[in-house]
């Protein structure tokens, strides 16, 4: 967040304002690990800043766990 001049509030606003899941990716650390699904969300803050986030959805806790975020170039 620091490299992209984002504050924590911008990231939260973008997640809350994201209209839908923009895409998914599969990631695994090694060949023997089970692949985990990561979700991409694109949202806009109340200030008009476009933010892309990547995270996972924890079904047991019903939360979105943020992995990374950056200003969107789109």
Over residues 6-46, the pLDDT tens digits come to: 888 888 888 898 899 899 988 877 777 788 888 898 999 88
- Distance CA(65)–CA(56), nearest Å, equals 5
pLDDT at 3 over 70: no
CB-based contact 34:28 (threshold 8 Å)? yes
Nearest to 53 by CA among 37, 65, 35: 65
- Map tokens 């969107």 to a residue: 72
> What are the tokens at 59?
């079904």
> Hey, is 46 helix, strand or coil?
coil
Which sequence spans correspond to the domains of the chain? 8-71
Neighbours of 11 (CB within 10 A): 21
In this predicted structure, what is the pLDDT of residue 69?
Answer: 83
In this predicted structure, what is the pLDDT of residue 57?
Answer: 83
pLDDT tens by residue, 56-66: 888 787 788 88
């Amino acid at each position: 967040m620091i490299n992209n001049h984002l504050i924590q509030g911008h990231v939260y606003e973008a997640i809350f304002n994201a209209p839908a899941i923009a895409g998914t990716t599969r990631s695994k650390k090694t060949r023997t690990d089970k692949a985990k699904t990561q979700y991409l969300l694109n949202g806009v803050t109340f200030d008009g800043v476009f933010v892309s986030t990547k995270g996972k959805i924890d079904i047991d806790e019903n939360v979105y766990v943020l992995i990374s975020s950056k200003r969107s170039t789109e």
